[in-house]
């Protein structure tokens, strides 16, 4: 079976989602939101990683995909497809970069740091909006 949503208490959700994300090869790839009926919060799956803070080593994909999930949630809440289209553009742009070994971060065997990956992602998104 394939699942894309985990509904559980926060503690067990953290455990299960961390394990599921690790199966993909990196905690840096899993987006995460905490959503209720009226409020939603996006967060990086992997936490803050203070040991690599300021060293241009963090994989930003988790936080970027979390933001895309938040946009999708907002679109559903407001019945506004523009949010979903923005989320889809972000998702497709991330997928395009991860398919190319030259645009992967170090934790995925690539050579890009946080800043270079983010610049490449912004360029990819911009290209899709033209």
φ, ψ for residue 9 (rounded to 5)? Answer: -70, 160
User: What are the residue ranges spanned by the domains of the chain?
Assistant: 10-129
The pTM of this model reads: 0.85
pLDDT digits (tens, 9 = 90+) for 45-69: 766 778 998 999 999 999 999 999 9
Give the DSSP letter of residue 8. S
What count of Cα atoms within 13 Å lies in the side-chain half-sphere of residue 106? 9
111: pLDDT strictly greater than 90: yes
- Please report the pLDDT score of residue 22 as a whole number: 74
Separation CA 26–CA 39 (nearest Å): 28
């Amino acid at each position: 079976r394939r699942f894309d949503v985990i509904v559980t208490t926060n503690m067990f959700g953290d455990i299960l989602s961390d394990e599921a994300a690790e199966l993909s090869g990196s905690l840096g790839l899993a987006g995460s939101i905490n959503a209720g009926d009226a409020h939603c919060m996006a967060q990086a799956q992997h936490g803050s990683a203070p040991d690599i803070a300021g060293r241009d080593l963090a994989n930003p994909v988790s936080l970027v995909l979390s933001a895309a999930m938040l946009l999708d949630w907002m679109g559903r809440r407001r019945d506004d497809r523009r949010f979903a289209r923005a989320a889809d553009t972000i998702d497709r742009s991330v997928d395009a970069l991860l398919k190319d070994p030259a645009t992967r971060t170090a934790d995925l065997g690539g050579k890009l740091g946080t800043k270079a990956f983010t610049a490449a992602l912004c360029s990819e998104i911009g290209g899709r909006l033209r």
